[in-house]
C-alpha cells in the first residue's frame, strides 16, 4: 500500500499533472516529505522549508522563509498582505515547471541552506488592534478572554483579522459568537 503522500498526489483533482512534475524536483533534494495542513510539506531536520499549494488559479510552491531568499530572477510572489516571511513561486502549466526546474532547485537549495544555518525572519512586533466588539465580549465572558490569551499569537491574530474585517458591528459580533466555541476549545480559526 502507498504512503499518505502518494495517496495525496494520486487523489488530487486540480493541478495533478503539474504536481507530478514538481514533486520529483523537490524529492531530489534532502527534504523529507510529509502531509501537513492537508498539503505536501517538505522539511529538513524537522523544520518546514517548502509546501505545495494547489490554488484555483495556479499551483504554488511556498517557501516558509521566502523573504530571506535572494530571488535573483524576481520570481517570488508575496504570500499575502499579512505574511511577514512566506513567499511563493506560482505555476500555471507543466511546461512552465519543466522550464524553471533548474531555478526551482536553486531556490530550494538556498532555502535549505537558510534553514540549516538557523537564520530567522525578523518579525515586526505590531499587534493587531483588538476590535471593540471583541473587547466587549471579553468583559462579558472572562473565560473567553482567558481562552483567547492561551492561544498562540498567530491564532489570536487570525481571529482578530477575521473579526475586524467585517464592515458592520453586527457582523463582527456575529463572527465572535460563531468563533467562541473554537476559541474556548483552544483551536485556531482554521482548525477542525
Give the integer Cα–Cα distance in Å for 192 and 64: 23
Q: Show the low-confidence residues of the chain (pLDDT under 50).
A: 1
Domain boundaries of the chain, sorted by first residue: 4-117, 132-184
Give 42's strand partners: 33, 50
Give the integer Cα–Cα distance in Å for 28 and 24: 6
Fold of 4-117: 3.90.1150
Give the integer Cα–Cα distance in Å for 60 and 77: 10
pLDDT tens digits along 11-52: 888 899 999 999 999 999 999 999 998 899 999 999 999 999
SS3 187: coil
Angle between helices 132-140 and 169-184 (to 10 degrees): 50
Phi, psi of 87 (to 5 degrees): -140, 160
pLDDT at 4: 67
Query: Considering the entire predicted model, what is its pTM?
Result: 0.68
Angle between helices 132-140 and 153-164 (to 10 degrees): 120
C-alpha cell at 161: 483579522
Position of cell 510529509?
A: 34
Amino acid at each position: 500500500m502507498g504512503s499518505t503522500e502518494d495517496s495525496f498526489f494520486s487523489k488530487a483533482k486540480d493541478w495533478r499533472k503539474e504536481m507530478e512534475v514538481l514533486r520529483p524536483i523537490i524529492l531530489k533534494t534532502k527534504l523529507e516529505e510529509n502531509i501537513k495542513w492537508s498539503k505536501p510539506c517538505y522539511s529538513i531536520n524537522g523544520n518546514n522549508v517548502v509546501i505545495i499549494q494547489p490554488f484555483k488559479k495556479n499551483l504554488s510552491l511556498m517557501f516558509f522563509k521566502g523573504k530571506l531568499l535572494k530571488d535573483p530572477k524576481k520570481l517570488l510572489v508575496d504570500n499575502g498582505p499579512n505574511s511577514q516571511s512566506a513567499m511563493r513561486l506560482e505555476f500555471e502549466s507543466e511546461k512552465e515547471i519543466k522550464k524553471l526546474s533548474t531555478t526551482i532547485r536553486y531556490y530550494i537549495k538556498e532555502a535549505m541552506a537558510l534553514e540549516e544555518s538557523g537564520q530567522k525572519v525578523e518579525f515586526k512586533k505590531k499587534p493587531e488592534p483588538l476590535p471593540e466588539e471583541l473587547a466587549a465580549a471579553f468583559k462579558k465572558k472572562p473565560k473567553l478572554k482567558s481562552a483567547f490569551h492561551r492561544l498562540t499569537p498567530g491564532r489570536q491574530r487570525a481571529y482578530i483579522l477575521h473579526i475586524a474585517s467585517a464592515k458592520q458591528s453586527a457582523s463582527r459580533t456575529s463572527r465572535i459568537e460563531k468563533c467562541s466555541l473554537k476559541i474556548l476549545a483552544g483551536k485556531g480559526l482554521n482548525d477542525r
